[in-house]
């Protein structure tokens, strides 16, 4: 079946511009995560959506970053007034997140291919 | 000190070798441990998933978790050139919560 998809695959922008990154999770997955992967830093958590609960925004690095998830499906990550240090690969993941947990079948986070953001 | 430490390599081995990858962590509250494989310009894909301490085997891959030492390992037997990728350890405190990743180890298996 279809996996997690992200668009665009590459985005080049100028410092100070706003950008929107899109994630389409696997159908039926209730949990959605955004991570950032930058050189030398590895993968870092940004924000997490679970069903209709308030999102966990504890990983967002500044108030220039925000995300929303419409209708429990598609998510958009917005970065306002981009800075050069925002250059990274932005990865989205989704998981089924149902049942009692503790099993790979329900807990596994499936990642999309990422959006490579370059801020000039 | 970062929560999860992982030697970035690069690690280069001949085809057929046994590969040992490992991570250490500082927070004893981690309960769920994973290894992801990431090919260049692709998203990470799950290789192994383990709850608490112990060993788990899947084909040529074995994952080990030693919670007393806060140390996890991934072994790859009979390594193949197709195993060349970056291997990321990841862990979480509870189910269905954000993962904390190591920086990844870049592995090259030479034919």
In the predicted model, is pLDDT for residue A109 greater than 70? yes
Percentage of chain A lying above the pLDDT 70 cut? 92
Residue B2: pLDDT over 80: no
Which pLDDT value is given to residue A97? Answer: 73
Structure tokens given for A45: 């958590």
Q: What is the pLDDT of residue A110?
A: 94
Q: Which residue of A has its CA nearest to B2?
A: A41
Distance CA A85, CA B69 (A): 35
Strand runs labelled E in A19-64: 19-24, 31-38, 42-50
Taking residues A104-120, report their average pLDDT. Answer: 88
Please state the rounded mean pLDDT for residues B15-42.
95
Cβ-nearest to B49 among A50, A59, A104 = A104
Q: Is the pLDDT of residue A53 over 90?
A: no
Neighbours of A80 (CB within 10 A): 14
β B105-110/B54-58 pair status: unpaired
* pLDDT averaged over every residue in chain B: 94
List of chain B residues whose C-beta atoms are within 8 Å of the C-beta of residue A118: none
Instruction: Number of A to B CB contacts under 8 A, please give it.
Output: 65
């Amino acid at each position: 079946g279809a996996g997690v998809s992200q668009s665009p695959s590459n985005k080049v922008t100028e410092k100070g511009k706003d950008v929107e990154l899109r994630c389409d999770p696997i159908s039926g997955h209730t949990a959605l995560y955004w991570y950032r992967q930058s050189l030398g830093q590895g993968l870092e958590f940004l924000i997490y959506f679970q069903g209709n609960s308030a999102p966990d925004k504890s990983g967002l690095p500044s108030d220039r970053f925000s995300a929303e998830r419409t209708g429990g499906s598609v998510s958009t990550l917005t970065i306002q007034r981009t800075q050069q240090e925002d250059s990274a690969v932005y990865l989205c993941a989704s998981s089924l997140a149902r049942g009692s947990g503790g099993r790979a079948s329900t807990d596994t986070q499936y990642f999309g291919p990422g959006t490579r953001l370059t801020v000039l | 000190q970062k929560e999860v430490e992982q030697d970035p390599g690069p690690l280069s081995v001949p085809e057929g070798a046994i590969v040992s990858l490992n991570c250490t962590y500082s927070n004893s509250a981690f309960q769920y441990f994973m290894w992801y494989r990431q090919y260049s310009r692709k998203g990470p894909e799950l290789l192994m998933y383990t709850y608490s301490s112990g060993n788990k085997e899947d084909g040529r891959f074995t994952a080990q978790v030693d919670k007393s030492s806060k140390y996890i390992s991934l072994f790859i037997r009979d390594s193949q050139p197709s195993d060349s990728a970056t291997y990321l350890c990841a862990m979480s405190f509870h189910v269905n919560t954000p993962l904390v990743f190591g920086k990844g180890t870049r592995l090259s298996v030479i034919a």
